[in-house]
């Protein structure tokens, strides 16, 4: 029986005697039903995760876009059927497990004036989008400068007589484990087993209907 899903190095297997039996007598029908169930499980996972993650009400929608769900099917072969929920974002792993991040230079932490209403750093400070989004750097802005206040290094923006703090410069940033990705997946154990068993039942029914029709 193929792995139900793989998320990084994490997998769940459904290996009941009932499903194994259906796999032997109705492999093509089971492959078709499981492919549909995998799609249902994937959607259930994302729906549950949106309600579980502690990333925040608005930012969570943005983080969700860093993950993709895939259903892999190859010529109706049951053993090649698989589902994968994955991301190529290193930041997501850091938010899942927690991490302390240091860089070759001081890190730039946005302050409220540099953020949008959803908590994202304003695009004007970056070049590129998505995984290619990069901080432009101080030299790209004539009206930005660094000055200390209260022992902290801050990037300020000067607009006429008005001066606004935009970014805090730090040596290290600590991210807490708040993605709840693996915990959400683990919470779906009973849901997954139920729907896989139902898929096996439908597959067997479809086989018997086919035999009744075509003899």
For the stretch 1-29, pLDDT in tens is 443 333 444 455 565 677 788 888 888 88
User: Above pLDDT 90, what percent of the chain?
Assistant: 11
List the one residue out of 108, 91, 85 whose CA is nearest residue 55: 91
d(CA 73, CA 3): 13
Q: Count other C-beta atoms under 10 Å from residue 120's C-beta.
A: 14
DSSP 8-state code for residue 128: S
What's the pLDDT tens digit per position in 28-51? 888 888 888 888 888 888 888 877
Report the pLDDT value the prediction gives residue 76, as an integer from 0 to 100. Answer: 60
Write down the pLDDT at residue 75. 64
**Residues 169/155, Cβ–Cβ less than 8 Å:** yes
Do you know the residue count of the chain?
Answer: 215
Report residue 77: phi and psi, to 5°: -80, 115
Tell how many helices (H) and how many strands (E) occur in the chain.
6, 10
User: What is the average pLDDT score of the chain?
Assistant: 78
Confidence check: pLDDT of 154 > 90: yes
Task: Identify the pLDDT of residue 2.
Answer: 40
135 or 184: which carries more pLDDT confidence? Answer: 184
| Residues 170 and 155 sit within 8 Å (Cβ to Cβ) | no
pTM of the model as a whole: 0.63
Calpha distance 39→7 (Å, rounded): 15
* Four-point Cα dihedral 62, 105, 146, 144, nearest 10: -50
- 3-class DSSP state for residue 154? strand
Which has more confidence, 105 or 146? 146
Residue 4's pLDDT is: 38
């Amino acid at each position: 029986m193929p792995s139900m899903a793989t998320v990084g190095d994490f997998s769940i297997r459904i290996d009941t005697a009932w499903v194994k039996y259906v796999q032997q007598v109705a492999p093509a029908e089971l492959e078709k039903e499981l492919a549909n169930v995998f799609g249902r499980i994937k959607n259930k996972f994302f729906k549950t995760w949106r309600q579980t993650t502690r990333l925040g009400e608005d930012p969570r929608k943005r983080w969700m876009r860093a993950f993709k769900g895939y259903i892999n099917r190859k010529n109706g072969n049951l053993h090649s059927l698989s589902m994968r929920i994955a991301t190529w974002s290193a930041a997501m792993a850091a938010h899942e497990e927690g991490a302390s991040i240091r860089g070759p230079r001081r890190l730039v932490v946005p302050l409220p004036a540099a953020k949008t209403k959803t908590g994202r750093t304003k695009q004007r400070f970056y070049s590129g989008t998505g995984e290619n989004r990069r901080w432009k750097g101080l030299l790209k802005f004539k009206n930005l400068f660094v000055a200390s206040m209260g022992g902290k290094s801050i990037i300020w923006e000067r607009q006429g007589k008005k001066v606004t703090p935009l970014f805090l410069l730090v040596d290290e940033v600590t991210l807490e484990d708040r993605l709840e990705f693996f915990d959400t997946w683990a919470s779906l154990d009973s849901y997954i087993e139920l729907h896989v068993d139902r898929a096996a039942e439908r597959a067997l029914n479809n086989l018997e209907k086919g035999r009744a029709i075509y003899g």
